[in-house]
Amino acid sequence: MPDTAPVPIQALRGDLDATVGSLMAELEALGRIIADARLEVAALKADDIDAPDIPAATDELAAIVSHTAQATHEILDSCESLTNISDQLEQQHAQPLQHAITRIYEACSFQDITGQRIAKVVAALQAVERRIAGARQSMETRPPVVSATQPESLLNGPQMPGAGISQSAIDALFD
């Protein structure tokens, strides 16, 4: 029968210390990666992107939808006029005209499909604009992450805020 006696915690301490050390090293590496990513995002100058460009693109797309709808309505009104004229023609001349009018009506369905697709693009651009604004706000309100690329943040060592020795007091010790 195998020995199933519990292993004392003291016997695991070496393994736990190695595991904790490994986890801490991983967390520090992740912290550096996140800090570097934040610096890279800040360097992208998101203000330059969303300030004029995204709203302008959204407005241009909305104008396309509006002008396309207006042109389509004018085409449909013209088709209605042609239909009224075809009603006054003999059958042999009215039938080809009615066929052409029907094809025009069918072709005008592009406006609805185009409008739906552009509306999806506008929604995506607005989502991007909101995400950029949220990321910028988040970066402005969060305290900076301490990283190995910012050694000046480590100059004061671990201390409670306001409890550290000032540089002038340290200088006075060496005088």
Q: Are residues 111 and 124 in the same domain?
A: yes
Token digits of residue 154: 């480590």
* 78: confidence class by pLDDT, cuts 50, 70, 90: very high
pLDDT at 1 over 60: no
Q: Are residues 52 and 108 in the same domain?
A: yes
For residue 39, tell me if it sits in a domain. Answer: yes
pLDDT tens digits for range 79-120: 999 999 999 999 998 999 999 999 998 888 888 888 888 888
The whole domain housing 64 covers 48-141
Task: Report how far residue 50's alpha carbon sits from residue 46's, in angstroms, rounded to the nearest whole number.
Answer: 6
**Model's pTM, two decimal places?**
0.46
Closest of 105, 111, 99 to residue 80, by C-alpha = 105
Res 141: pLDDT: 66
Give 89's DSSP letter: S
pLDDT tens digits for range 25-51: 777 777 778 777 767 766 666 555 556
Res 16: pLDDT: 60
For residue 3, tell me if it sits in a domain. Answer: no
For residue 7, tell me if it sits in a domain. Answer: no
How much of the chain, in percent, has pLDDT values that exceed 70? 62
Task: Report how far residue 58's alpha carbon sits from residue 121's, in angstroms, rounded to the nearest whole number.
Answer: 8
Q: Are residues 71 and 128 in the same domain?
A: yes
For residue 149, tell me if it sits in a domain. Answer: no
Q: Are residues 81 and 136 in the same domain?
A: yes
For residue 10, tell me if it sits in a domain. Answer: no
